[in-house]
Structure 1
């Protein structure tokens, strides 16, 4: 499969290492909440011959390709077309009471970036779509052609952390007054021309932040993540572990907050001890966010911005291993 050759799972060995204690259990169930092309999932299934996989993805093309890749493990896999904030409904529908391992590999996938027709990449001309699930939702073209100046500027400033959001929004409004703006190449050109020349010389492609912002808006990525993280943490069985890979500060901030809210003690600081039963149910497995090393980035340039965080639901206090 050609797609396999271009897809290098990010921080694969570290993910496997962190998940292993939770998945080395009889009948363990692993959730891949962002299945993509199935690289992480395939490695998990190979490393743990008894593990069952529940794979979710909102992209129907990704599900099809991942299904081909994971065909040798068909008796241990269940692939579902769903966004990861639908996890509770999926678990209920599958009759599952919890998960042992979970992986979230956030952001846009290699396949989506490399498929010019999807409109995610500013370096290739394509219709402005940017939907991860092409069966529903508004497109990036609808956003740039219908949002007011204020709403466009807000999206670019908040989701893209773009300093020149107002100038770019104004350029978009001028352009669409001449006719519908539907080309990713034309949008990238507008953004470049809206940013002062000195600012264009640093920070990579000048359209990078705008395209990120539009993608997040189109797919509701941050709102979906904010709903999904608590659901996944609640679904972890005792001894279960979750690993999250995020690729920009907005994602990582939400992950950090969700984990902190479940791992921080609620006992008043003036109390000299922690009463039995009041300890947090979860514990952090990483010291802050782990970054890729130089070898990882050299092998997979898309790993350059990744931040990894992991958490574990503490094992049952009676010392018995949960083997569900």
Structure 2
């Protein structure tokens, strides 16, 4: 038995981009499922899936990540291994191609859970990561336009920036994630993101925080997407997995976690969940969320943007 489920971010996707987002998610699943089919680990599968999405500029992770207010890219990533509650993460890393792989090395090569900023980049150099510029021409053009609007007084603080996101919610989607259970019954989750558009330098979202944007336990694995400030306050992925521990299946746990977030904070978010029985859970309170999954015995990948 195995299951692999990925997401490409919650927000609003323009209809003419539906096919491209779905294609990207399917490519990620294809990369990970080959590992699971051969008896490989859930950890290897979720890392492989997320790396594919980090290389796809349509998503807000790795190459194509959104820019900070100062015009830089600061990326967060995390990976979690359910059986031992192992966790590795990086925050605010720059100029590397695959932050998710660096997060895994934090887990496997250090005694730490999270490395941030210059220390994370120094660790990347030590581990042999080469310089990589993740900024695309499209992201640079978007940054120039909206930073100009901000400076001219159209968006003066976070409440005004939220109004920008309401008008252009496509800037909120794009965080990528994957969750899996392998034939050995082991669970894993991985998430990677460039954060939110025009964020302040040094801002860290939910992705690298255990139990917020990424988490895995013996009961299941979860990855979330959306505006991280709210998800950090409720520990969204841990909440979902606690619901599974208490007896809910993956879908009901995903719904319960988002409903809990709505009732307490009201943040735009989405979540994917897999439980130890291989069930999938997909739920969001935004107009769209790209997802794709495959389970043992399925002939084709299921995908969608709603």
Fold shared by both chains (TM-score > 0.5): no
Determine which structure has greater relative contact order: mean sequence separation of CA pairs < 8 Å that are 6+ residues apart, divided by chain length: 2
Query: Relative to total residues, which structure has the larger strand share, 1 or 2?
Result: 2
TM-score when normalising by structure 2: 0.28
Bigger radius of gyration among the two:
1
Query: Relative to total residues, which structure has the larger helix share, 1 or 2?
Result: 1
